[in-house]
Amino acid sequence: MRKTTNVLVLACAVAALSLTGCSTQDAICGDGEYPAMTVGATGTTCVADGHQPPKGYTRYPEGKVPEHVDDKWDKYWQSHTVDKDGKIIKAP
């Protein structure tokens, strides 16, 4: 009986995750937003779609945008940034 219960619980968990499209990682920004990075530092902010980043921020380089906390690009940008000319540099 216990094995049947464990299988049922596992099946329900798998079904719930697949139906909701949930990720085990937190998103960097919410729906309707995109991440922008601080020029010359490692800060990040979220900007509403259709708006420009605030002064002192810029968009991430194409193909190098973090999507989830601790994903490949989130980790990379913890030690890198862009200078005022858009060149990728080591963070100070």
Model pLDDT, residue 25: 78
Give, rounded to a whole angstrom, the gap between the first and last alpha carbons of the chain: 59
Q: Are 35 and 49 in contact (CB under 8 A)?
A: no
* Domain assignment present for 63: yes
- Give pLDDT tens digits for 54-83: 999 999 999 999 999 999 999 999 999 999
Structurally, the chain folds into a number of domains equal to 1
Give residue 1's pLDDT band: very low, low, confident or very high (50, 70, 90). low
* Domain assignment present for 78: yes
Q: Are 59 and 34 in contact (CB under 8 A)?
A: yes
- Give pLDDT tens digits for 3-60: 544 444 444 444 444 444 455 679 999 999 999 999 999 999 999 999 999 999 999 9
* Domain assignment present for 15: no
* Domain assignment present for 68: yes
Q: Which domain holds residue 60?
A: 26-90
* Domain assignment present for 21: no
The DSSP call for residue 28 is S
Please list, in sequence order, all residues whose beta carbon lies within 8 angstroms of the beta carbon of residue 54, skipping any fewer than 6 positions away.
36, 45, 47
* Domain assignment present for 4: no
Model pLDDT, residue 37: 98
* Domain assignment present for 84: yes
